[in-house]
Amino acid sequence: MAACLIGAAVLLTACGSGGGGQAAGGGASGEQKITLTLNLFGNMGFKELYAKYEAAHPNIKIVERTSAYNDHHRNLAAHLATGRGAGDVEGVDTGFIARFRQTPQHFTDLNKQGAAALKDRWLPWKWEASLARTGEQIGYGTDVGGLALCYRRDLLEKAGLPTGRDEVSKLWPDWAAYFETGKKYTADKPEGTAFFDGAAQIFNAMIGQAPVGFYDTADNVVVGGNPEVRKAYDQVVAAVAAGESAKLVGSTPEWNTGFAKSQFATIACPAWMLAKIQDQAKEFAGKWDIAAIPGGGGNWGGSYLTVPAQGKHVKEAVELIAWLTAPEQQIEVFKTHGILPSTVATYDKPEVTSLTHPFFNDAPIGKIFTTAARNLRPQYQGPRAGDIQTALRDGINRVEQGKQTPEESWQQILRDVDRIKQ
């Protein structure tokens, strides 16, 4: 089991009642100080909330530990397999939740901790995605990754392209038009820039729009037989050949530097990407904007908070994640970081629907992303979806790096996927 979990958990390259949740009643009892450790990946938008929770629960101290995406999920798998080392709370990305829900014994069953009273908070498919087939609920949903397309207004202007978000959206009603626009950008691009950040990131957005991705609902891997996968692959590697890619790999130091050095003009933009752009491109506030995603709709990413069964403070950890994922807290995270709530009630709140973001040229992020969430058609994620996504990412990267031809790399992808599903 340890070898299986550790080896398979490697991925790429987009989280009580009322505002108090179950924790409103008081948290830990007595005078004992309890430290709750949250192991997360990237910026999930919670840091500003901890002081508020600690003020209402003086016996609780919250420590957030953040690691790189790949490292986080690899470490979590190892800690679960060995029965030691996990945090009191562990974040899990949507690409891994299907894997971990297959071993619900490693997690606290939230259904036994009052989850039934909270179920209607979330979009139905969000709740079901973390539900084990044997009925255990292993996680509370944080965000969803409704898709848009973020772009640098100044770079498009220098390449002779429109800059207004409505006009930009009209440039790419579908992905074929997006890549054609990329050719126009490339023909007159500002020096040192490319049209998009990396082909694997664009591929993720494209495949996130497909009705069927890497699995069918019977948990059969369908990568080789799904024409949507091959079509998206062919389109992105053709764009690489046309010089449209900055050839950056998502969530790497080089990718972070790409934001700061203006190395690309557009990026596929699930709601959680807004926080990453703000973190890495601080000096370009107001120059970023948000347009419609080619093809319309789709989902990329979204996360969950889980409570490993091995924890020493399970009760307090469950209370904390119920509070962090309550609608009121999800609204605060959206207002501060642009990370889209997964709680249904938030989509009709004026403070959400009317929200604009000054960093993104006052883009109406409330309207953009709540519309995306309502129109989102969830794609089924099988147990090894994260590992398969890694295989596609690596294959696309091999093409970008000139190590293999597109066909050579595709054949290796199929072999790698065959090994993963065994």
User: What are the extents of the domains in the chain?
Assistant: 2-142+301-341, 147-298+379-421
Percent over 90 (pLDDT), the chain? 74
Mean pLDDT of 9-26: 37
Smallest CA-to-CA distance from 121 within 107, 139, 105 is with 139
Q: What is the pLDDT of residue 300?
A: 85
Residues of the chain above pLDDT 70, percent = 92
**φ, ψ at 187 (rounded to 5°):** -70, -25
DSSP 161-222: ---SHHHHHHH-SSHHHHHHHHHHHHHTPPTT-EEES-HHHHHHHHHTTSSS-SB-TTS-B-
Is pLDDT above 70 for 3? no
Residue 155 per-residue DSSP state: H
Instruction: Indicate the Cα dihedral angle 212, 409, 13, 380, nearest 10°.
Output: 10
The pair of three-digit structure tokens given for residue 27, joined into one six-digit string = 């948290």
Handedness of CA 309, 314, 319, 324 (dihedral sign): negative
Query: What residues contact residue 221 under an 8 Å CB cut-off, 6+ apart?
Result: 214, 215, 382, 384, 388, 417, 420, 421
**Banded pLDDT at 26 (limits 50, 70, 90):** very low
Give the confidence band of 19 by pLDDT, cuts at 50, 70, 90. Answer: very low
Residue 251: which of 46, 105, 118, 72 has the closest Cα? Answer: 72
The whole-model pTM stands at 0.81
The whole-number average pLDDT for the span 150-161 is 98
In the CATH scheme, what is the code of domain 2-142+301-341?
3.40.190.10
Question: Is it true that 2-142+301-341 and 147-298+379-421 share their CATH fold?
Answer: yes
CA R_g for the chain: 21
Provide the token pair at 390: 């890694």
Given pLDDT bands bounded at 50, 70 and 90, which one contains residue 31?
A: low
> For the segment 59-91, what is each residue's pLDDT rounded down to a tens digit?
999 999 999 887 999 999 999 999 999 999 999
Q: How many other CB atoms are there within 10 angstroms of residue 225's CB atom?
A: 11
Helix, strand, coil tally for the chain in percent (to 5): 50, 15, 35
The two tokens of residue 384 are: 């090894």
Per-residue pLDDT at 296: 80
Instruction: Quote the pLDDT of residue 422.
Output: 60
Burial (CB count <10 Å: 0-12, 13-18, 19+), residue 246 = buried
Q: Does 46 score more than 50 pLDDT?
A: yes
Q: Tell me: pLDDT of 140 over 80.
A: yes
pLDDT in tens, 359-385: 999 999 999 888 877 777 788 888 888
Tens digits of per-residue pLDDT, 294-353? 988 778 888 999 999 999 999 999 999 999 999 999 999 999 888 989 998 998 899 899
27: pLDDT strictly greater than 60: no
**pLDDT at residue 190 greater than cutoff 80:** yes
Q: Is the pLDDT of residue 14 over 80?
A: no
pLDDT band at 29 (very low <50, low <70, confident <90, very high): very low
Q: How do residues 262-299 score in pLDDT, each as one tens digit?
A: 999 999 999 889 989 999 999 999 999 999 999 887 78
What distance in Å separates the CA atoms of residue 147 and residue 152, rounded to the nearest whole number?
17
Arch. (CATH architecture) of 147-298+379-421:
3-Layer(aba) Sandwich (3.40)
